[in-house]
Amino acid sequence: MTAIAPPVATARHMRSPAERRRQGWVRRTPLLPALIFTIIVTQLPFLLTLWYSLESWSLVRPGSQHFVGFANYAEVFQDSQFWTTALNTVVMTVGTVLIAMVIGIGLALLLDRKFIGRGVVRTLLITPFLVMPVASALVWKTVMLDPTYGIVNFLLRPFGIGHFDWLSQFPLGSVMIDMIWQWTPFMMLLVLAGLQSQPKDILEAASTDGARPLAIFRELTLPHLRRYIELGIVLGAIYIVNEFDAIYMMTQGGPGISSANLPFYIYQRAFLGFQVGQAAAMGVVVVIMTIIVATFALRLIFKTFSGTEQAA
């Protein structure tokens, strides 16, 4: 992206401080509605969450609100289920993101070449991303992974796997399969963008310089893709950490909490257990953890989209 010189042609020396201030406000006005709206709808709730986390409050007993300071947090950190679901969250996020990225890179490499029906294949590969998450979870839970009537078990029968109950044996894994299926197209598209943004003459130059295709990929393409891969991993992680729909539909977090992640566990505490204070405290902890990851994410996003990469 190129930096666009502001087209306002008022000569600088003719602007008085008042005029400059007015110009500043004229420029700012278009963005205020969106900004104010977002602040009210997203920031206020978080502040309230912070406040609630310091209170003990059960929605079942109205009027039971009272300040308890950090007691909720103490409970949270001593709650073994919290740590289990935290671990589940990490496993689910890291596993889904990495596997989806690896498959996505492979698919992007294929789609980067010309072949008959390339457009159709791309359409087919994008579809999983379009499917409604609850619908996807539903389909995977029943028609795909059902022990008796699911088609996955049918296809695996020649390999000796017959009556395998995916959802009870591998609850986390089953949810991950659904999520990997839905997120691979996203990774694929980002990597594809990276591949297609590489100038072709650089690849030709490497060819005339004696490099075989594998060397070209290793020495030139991969470094170029690094930015896109990082972006995909970070953006994907942000969405996947917050995954809720698939768990709700597929396993309800079970058996027990073996397939619950933090968002689902917090939901259970708040809406099924009505323990607002503790749920809020957990929410705050998750926010802090996310902020740490997000700081890296934001730095990356800015690097990629501020156009610091220039071809020679």
CB of 237 to another protein, least distance (A): 10
CB of 124 to another protein, least distance (A): 4
Closest CB to another protein among residues 126, 161:
126
For residues 186-215, which are near another protein according to CB under 8 A?
A: 186, 189-190, 192-194, 196-197, 199, 201-202, 204-212, 215
Burial status of residue 188 (CB atoms within 10 A of its CB: 0-12, 13-18, 19 or more): buried
Among 120, 160, 214, 272, binds another protein (CB under 8 A): 120
CB of 274 to another protein, least distance (A): 10
> How many binding residues for another protein (CB under 8 A)?
126
Among 17, 33, 63, 158, binds another protein (CB under 8 A): 33
CB of 35 to another protein, least distance (A): 7
CB of 303 to another protein, least distance (A): 12
3-state secondary structure the chain: CCCCCCCCCCCHHHCCHHHHHHHHHHHHHHHHHHHHHHHHHHHHHHHHHHHHHCEECECCCCCCCEECCCHHHHHHHHCHHHHHHHHHHHHHHHHHHHHHHHHHHHHHHHHCCCCCCHHHHHHHHHHHHHCCHHHHHHHHHHHHCCCCCCHHHHHHHHHCCCCCCHHHHCHHHHHHHHHHHHHHHHHHHHHHHHHHCCCHHHHHHHHHCCCCHHHHHHHHHHHHHHHHHHHHHHHHHHHHHCCCHHHHHHCCCCCCCCCCCHHHHHHHHHHHCCEHHHHHHHHHHHHHHHHHHHHHHHHHHHHHHCCCCCCC
Among 111, 172, 233, 260, binds another protein (CB under 8 A): 111
Binding characters for another protein, 137-176, by CB under 8 A (x = yes): -xxx-xxx-x-xx-x--x----------------------
Cβ neighbors of 55 (< 8 A, separation 6 or more) are 65, 66, 67, 68, 72, 276, 277, 280
Among 14, 66, 114, 158, binds another protein (CB under 8 A): 114
CB of 179 to another protein, least distance (A): 13
CB of 256 to another protein, least distance (A): 20
For residues 9-28, which are near another protein according to CB under 8 A?
A: 9, 24, 27-28
Choices 67-75, 90-98, 133-141, 165-173 (CB under 8 A): range interacting with another protein: 133-141
- Contact flag: residue 248 with another protein (CB under 8 A): yes
φ/ψ region of 306 (left if φ > 0, alpha if ψ in -120 to 50, else beta) reads alpha
For residues 42-101, which are near another protein according to CB under 8 A?
A: 42-46, 48-49, 52
CB of 307 to another protein, least distance (A): 8
Closest CB to another protein among residues 60, 298:
298
Closest CB to another protein among residues 71, 103:
103
